[in-house]
Amino acid sequence: VLEDREYHDVTMDDVSRRAGLAKGSLYLHFPTKERLFRELVEDMHAELLESLDRVRGSSAPGEPRVRALIAAQLGFFERHRGVFLQVFQGQMPFLCGDARRSRDMVGATLRVTTDVIEEAVRLRRFRSLDGPTAAIGLFGLIRGFVFAHILCGSSPALGSRAGVIWDLFFRGARA
């Protein structure tokens, strides 16, 4: 439903109609509208963390792992394009009014990113960088492309930007 209307314009009526349930039945599963959407976002976030975790198992440390991490995030945002269109446009209280939870979600992503980057530093693939700081940078870089992608329609495909992001992050702009 969020792909059509923003959070505040989505009524429980809309949700129930889409769910093929009666309005009252929604309340058998979620005590509150806020909780319903919070769980939606948390599910999505769990999925992201899971896919970031899989990065560790399925790729070699260093460059391949960083690239896999970038790809995993792009894939995640592409899969949930509709919802993030809302989130980025600020249409959905990202975590339904709970800043700490928002911090936690971003924090978890940053922690994984930091680990992967520090790994690459240890392997001398990256120069000596402050892990958390570089993680913020990479995080922002990725979101920048996601943002642009979502805002400007769907071309070019988000997945295809992984190479560009890696190139910018790895080599920088320097001549």
Partner DNA sequence: TATGAATGAGGGTTCATTCAT
Partner DNA sequence: AATGAATGAACCCTCATTCAT
- Whose Cβ is closer to a copy of itself: residue 75's or residue 137's? 137
Q: With beta carbons less than 8 A apart as the criterion, state whether 16 and 7 touch.
A: no
Distance CA 163, CA 165 (A): 5
Figure out which of the listed residues 3, 4, 6, 11 binds DNA, where binding follows CB under 7 A: 11
Tokens of 132: 């958390």
- Residues 114-133, one symbol each (x = binds a copy of itself by CB under 8 A, - = not), give ---x--x---xxxx-x---x
Residue 87 touches which of DNA, a copy of itself, none (Cβ within 5-8 Å per kind)? a copy of itself
Residue 36 touching a copy of itself (CB under 8 A): no
What's CA 51's distance to the chain center, in Å?
Answer: 11
- Whose Cβ is closer to DNA: residue 20's or residue 172's? 20
Distance CA 39, CA 124 (A): 41
Figure out which of the listed residues 3, 4, 6, 13 binds DNA, where binding follows CB under 7 A: 13
Figure out which of the listed residues 1, 23, 119, 121 binds DNA, where binding follows CB under 7 A: 23
**How far apart are CB 98 and DNA at their closest, in Å?**
15
Residue 22 touching DNA (CB under 7 A): yes
Residue 24 touching DNA (CB under 7 A): yes
Residue listed under structure tokens 């009524």? 11
Query: Is residue 2 helix, strand or coil?
Result: coil
The DSSP 8-state label assigned to residue 159 in this structure reads: G
